[in-house]
Structure 1
Amino acid sequence: MEWGAFIAASFYRKEVVGSAEFKDTLGLIGMNFNQVRLKLMVTFKTAVDAPFVAYL
């Protein structure tokens, strides 16, 4: 029983540490994605606004 608990604890700790690193990676990807999305939105807004400005 004690061995099982020890193995489970080690496995759990490894999983948590692994997932923390994974979350950091996901966080970086998410940040990059948000920057790209923001750029696209700004570009799209400019592209949409430009014809109206030209029309006026």
Structure 2
Amino acid sequence: MLAASEYAAMAVGIGGVLWSVNQLAQARTTAGRIAEVLAEPPWPTATSASPKAPEGWSSSR
């Protein structure tokens, strides 16, 4: 049904407008999801040096 109404809208020349509105709605949704991720607190970082490699291991691996 939705597809049929979109094809009818394109036939009368407002398909471009509907496409633009759809793209705007998707962009707003995506921006909201990105904002949720960016609102999370940062992960803690290591405060000490990394542990040394076991004997016999090369650090150039």
Residue 3 (str. 1) matches residue 18 (str. 2) = yes
TM-score normalised by the chain length of structure 2: 0.47
**Partner Cα distance (1:22, 1:10) in 2:** 19
Runs of 4+ in structure 1 deviating by more than 3 angstroms, as ranges, are none
Q: Which has the higher helix share?
A: 1
Instruction: Please list every run of 5 or more consecutive structure 1 residues that lacks an aligned counterpart in the other structure.
Output: 45-56
Question: Whose radius of gyration is greater, 1 or 2?
Answer: 2
TM-score normalised by the chain length of structure 1: 0.51
- Equivalent pairs counted in the alignment come to 35
Q: What is the identity percentage for the equivalent residue pairs of Structure 1 and Structure 2?
A: 9
Instruction: Please list every run of 5 or more consecutive structure 2 residues that lacks an aligned counterpart in the other structure.
Output: 1-15, 52-61
> Which residue number in structure 1 is paired with residue 31 of structure 2?
16
